[in-house]
Amino acid sequence: MKFKNCDEKTVNRLFELISSLENAEDVRVLLSDLCTEHEIEQMAQRIRAAELLLEGKTYASVKENCDISSATLSRVSRCVQYGEGYRKFLK
């Protein structure tokens, strides 16, 4: 993964910090400090969209159930098909 505005050491520190969290409450506390409410909502919607796509739902059905743009849904769909994270963690 390449990042434009941040060096790899700094990004890896973020990943290490997240991996050190012990439970959902720790994640909530950290994300509440790191992200806006809107950013958290967007991430949650992406996860919900991925779950629906993994269940075999159509784009139209996902759009009805999630407040997500077509462009974002397309990206989530590509990640579901070709990425690793959604399939690994959304079983």
5-37 pLDDT, tens digit each: 899 999 999 999 999 999 999 999 999 999 999
Specify the higher pLDDT residue, 2 or 46: 46
Cα–chain center distance at 66: 14
pTM (two decimals): 0.86
Residue 49: other Cβ atoms inside 10 A: 25
